[in-house]
Structure formats: C-alpha cells, structure tokens
Structure 1
Amino acid sequence: MHGPMTSGWLLMALCAATGAYCLLRMGSCSGDAREDAGGEALMGFGMAAMAVPAAVLTLPSWHWVVYAVVFGAAALRAIRALRARRHRHHLVACLTMVYMAAAMAGPGGAHASHTRPGVPLLTAALVVYFAVYVLRAGLRLVPVAAPAGSPGPAAPSWGAPPELALACRVSMGTAMLVMLLTL
C-alpha cells in the first residue's frame, strides 16, 4: 500500500496483532469457531503483509500474484462455508483482498487502477460495505445492561470472550477500509 510510512507501520502492527490473537483464539475454539478464527488469522497476517510500507521492503513484481492465489483459495473455502450459512463477510473480505492484489499488480500499481473504467465504482462499493460492516459490528460491542436479578455471564477462557473476537473483526474491517481508501 502507499501512503505515509507511519500509518503503514501502524496498520501493519494492528493487522499483525489481530492475526496473532486469532491464532491464539484457535487454540481455545473447536469446530466452526476454530475455522473462523483461522480464516481471520490468515486475513490479519495477509493484510499486515500488504500494509508494509513500500519504502522499507521492495518485493518482486510477482508477489501480488501470491496474494491473489492465497486469498482466491480462501475465497473458495469461504464459498463452502456459505453453503452452511456462515459468514458471508469472509467471502467478501477474501475477494476484496484478491481485488486489491489485482489492482496493485496492474501496470502502474494502485494509481493506475483509478484510470481504468469501473474500478473506482467497485472500490467505492467496497468502501461503503466495509464502513457499514464496521459500524454494525462496533454497535454490537456497546454494552447492554442485564435485567435486575439475572446472573452475570460465565467467565470464559482467555481466548474465548466473544467481545474480543468481535473487536478483532472491527479492527480488521477498519484496516480493510483504510487499505481501500489508499488504493
């Protein structure tokens, strides 16, 4: 991604920390939750790698193809999960990563992508999608008072608080939004 180096480092750190937490969360989950945590870890680490400031590390021109292949495979896996009516957002996020990799791999990189017809419209649609996703997920983090006399929630294990998993999704959605805006 291009832009100020400080924001690139901060975005990279946020995504890497989110990916690391999702890997830790995989250890305390099972079944579908474990699979979701693994997908989120992949997304976090992939976004962290994509956010490394270009002035720091010069990668070969084919590295965007690797991103597209990895996230294309993750999108195929998300399609399988779609049949089980789980997380359409994973599919959209994976396809967005493929789109960003393709835009960056094109001639001239991201700046040239804005001169091709239809690309700014798709970018704008994805920006709106991720903005709505972040706002909706963020609203679910707002605490709701429990009715008087009801027992409090059971203390979950270190890696299992649903609020923390949701906060990770908010941070990754926000990072995706920033990456799309700098595309």
Structure 2
Amino acid sequence: MHGPAPAGWLLVALCAATGAYCLLRMRSPVEEQRRTAGGEALMGFGMAAMAVPAAVVTPPHWAWLACTAVFGVAALRALPSARSDPHHLHHLMGTVAMVYMAAVMTAAPATTQAHHVHGGTGVPVLTGMLLLYFTGYVLRSGARLLPVAVAPGPAARTVGWGDRPELSQACRLSMGIAMLAMLVTL
C-alpha cells in the first residue's frame, strides 16, 4: 500500500501478530471457532503482505493477481454462511475489501504504484463505502470491548487464552483498524 514506510511496517507487524494469534486460536476444541480463526488468520497474513510499504518492495503484477484470486475464493466460501451469521457477513466484507484493493493494485500501472493509484479524482464510491463500513465496524467493536459491570454469580469454567472472546474481539478490532488504514492509503 502507499504511505509512510514506518506506518506501513507497523501495519505489517500488527497484521502479522494478529494472524499468528488466530493460528493459535485454531487449536480450540470448538469447531466453529477453529473455522473462524482460520479465515481470520488468512486475513491477518494477507493484510500484512499487502501492507508492506511500496517504497521498500514493489510486488510484481502477478502477486496482485494471486491476492485477488485467493481472497476471491475466500469471499465465495464466506458467501453461503454470511446470510445467517453477522460475523460471517463481516468476514465476507473483509475478503471483498481485500479483492478490491488487490484488483486496484493490479489495474494500476507500475509507475503509479509507488505514488498514488487514484490521482486527483477523489475517493472512488466503493472505497468510500468500504471506509464507512469499516469505520462503523471499528466503532462497534471498540464499544464491545468496554467493560461492563457483571453481578457475581457461579464461577464460569476456565477457558484457555486462545478461547477468550475478548482477545478474539481485540484481534478483529485491530484488523478493522488496519483495514481502514489500508483503504485510506489506497
């Protein structure tokens, strides 16, 4: 993506760390959590690869085509379950955003990839819609992480650190913020 190199490297580190945590979550005994964690790991590592600063490494044209294909397949796999589950709908939106960003980078001439993809034309409509969606998602996810008072009750079963819902929610929040940063620099 485009933007200052230090910010790009921070984005790479954040997305790679999130992807690594999601890989660890795949060891959960809960089938649905393993499947969700696998999709989120793919998103984390894919975002890390796409966030490498363009001033440092300019990927070849075929790399953007590969990203478009991989995330296109991921979007098609998320499509059937997106109707019944809001989290799967978000996963579908994330994969569609990745397909869109990779397609934009595929269509951009090599000379403009190191500068700006969209010249003085303003923000394209799809980019604006994705920015609005991910801004709402980040605000909602951040609000869900706020502590709430809980009345004392019977002790809940101890869960492993990979099965803690607040950690997986924090990872989703960080990937949402990273997606916003990537869309802004597109």
When normalised by structure 2's length, the TM-score is 0.90
Counterpart CA distance in 2 for 1:11 and 1:123 is: 19
- Structure 1 unaligned spans of 5+: none
Partner of residue 172, structure 2: 169
Is contact 1:114-1:120 (8 Å) kept? no
Is contact 1:106-1:113 (8 Å) kept? no
What amino acid is aligned across from residue 150 of structure 1 in structure 2? G
How much is the aligned-residue C-alpha RMSD, in angstroms? 1.8
SS in 1 for 2:27: helix
Q: How far 1:151 sits from its partner (Å)?
A: 3.2
Partner of residue 22, structure 1: 22
SS in 1 for 2:97: helix
Partner of residue 150, structure 1: 153
When normalised by structure 1's length, the TM-score is 0.91
Q: How far 1:158 sits from its partner (Å)?
A: 2.0
Sequence identity percentage: 58
Counterpart CA distance in 1 for 2:16 and 2:104 is: 22
Counterpart CA distance in 1 for 2:20 and 2:117 is: 33
Partner of residue 131, structure 1: 135
CA displacement, residues 104-152 of structure 1 (integer Å, 9 cap, x when unaligned): 11133563445679x61111111110000011011111111112x4235
Is contact 2:83-2:89 (8 Å) kept? no
Counterpart CA distance in 1 for 2:103 and 2:10 is: 24
Q: How far 1:4 sits from its partner (Å)?
A: 0.4
Is contact 2:19-2:45 (8 Å) kept? yes
Is contact 1:19-1:43 (8 Å) kept? yes
Counterpart CA distance in 2 for 1:151 and 1:127 is: 42
Q: How far 1:44 sits from its partner (Å)?
A: 0.1
Q: How far 1:83 sits from its partner (Å)?
A: 4.7
Partner of residue 35, structure 2: 35
CA displacement, residues 37-70 of structure 1 (integer Å, 9 cap, x when unaligned): 0000000000000001122223212211000000
How many positions carry a matched residue from both structures? 181
Is contact 2:9-2:53 (8 Å) kept? yes
* Residue correspondence of structure 1 range 12-91 to structure 2 within 5 A: 12-85=12-85, 87-91=88-92
SS in 2 for 1:122: helix
- Report which stretch shifted further, 49-58 or 95-104: 49-58
Counterpart CA distance in 1 for 2:47 and 2:184 is: 14
What amino acid is aligned across from residue 20 of structure 2 in structure 1? A
- Structure 2 unaligned spans of 5+: none
Is contact 1:67-1:98 (8 Å) kept? yes
- Relative to structure 1, the CA distance from residue 115 to residue 103 in structure 2 (aligned partners, 3 Å threshold; closer, same or farther) is farther
